[in-house]
Structure 1
Amino acid sequence: MISRVNMVIVGVHTVMTNGGVIGSVGLNMVTLAQKHSVPVVVLTGSPKLCPMHPNPEDFLNKRRSPSELLDFGEFSDQMDSSTGDGAPLIHAVNTEFDYVPPELVSLFIIDIGAHKPSFMYLLY
């Protein structure tokens, strides 16, 4: 369905110097619309500009409790018979942020104007 969309407009948590962004989980999947020639526009304010060069591992390693996503009581009857310790057969990872590379962003609209990702370093 994404190829039928005219434009994707998103907000982000942080904009890095290379034009990459840190946003909510799932943002990377949404911005893959760029691969279908759908423009991805990021709306943000200048206080969210971060003067650091991105190290995605710093943001992707921050985890939240999987219980926010799943009620493990639903899976209590699906135990792992190979271990025999009663551990459920489910492994859930709940990351807090997604890193989106600058290649997936078409345009930034900031309170001081519109900019391409390749020129974001000039704002710092």
Structure 2
Amino acid sequence: MISNKELAVELTLFKKYGLSENKVARLAGVSQKTIIRWKKGKNSPSNLANQKFQQVLDLFNKLEEVFENEGKAKEWLATPSDSLNGKAPIDILKNEANNIETILTLLTRLEWGIPD
């Protein structure tokens, strides 16, 4: 289970890559108000919300593992990909919350040296 302190750190990570709390909430399948309540310690994520939030976190942790620096990671996120029908990974994440696994797969391929 994600603690309130961990949540604050993780939200900072997401913000660094251009995802607002609202976008993160949408990816995790909860409202922005729910994220705010979690941060304030007023309640904790349900198991399902925690699992979805963990998927988002795993994605951004993988992003930091694969790329040497934040600049390269941001560039990759913003670059259209043939594997995503010409869309950039960040656009997929912002607009299509169910594609986290697709982006994780692309990152894993890059990690193994398999080009887009």
Higher relative contact order (CA 8 A, sep 6+): 1
For Structure 1 versus Structure 2, the TM-score category normalised by the shorter chain is under 0.3
TM-score of the two chains, using structure 2 as the length reference: 0.24
When you count strand as a share of all residues, which structure comes out higher? 1
TM-score of the two chains, using structure 1 as the length reference: 0.23
- Higher gyration radius (CA): 1
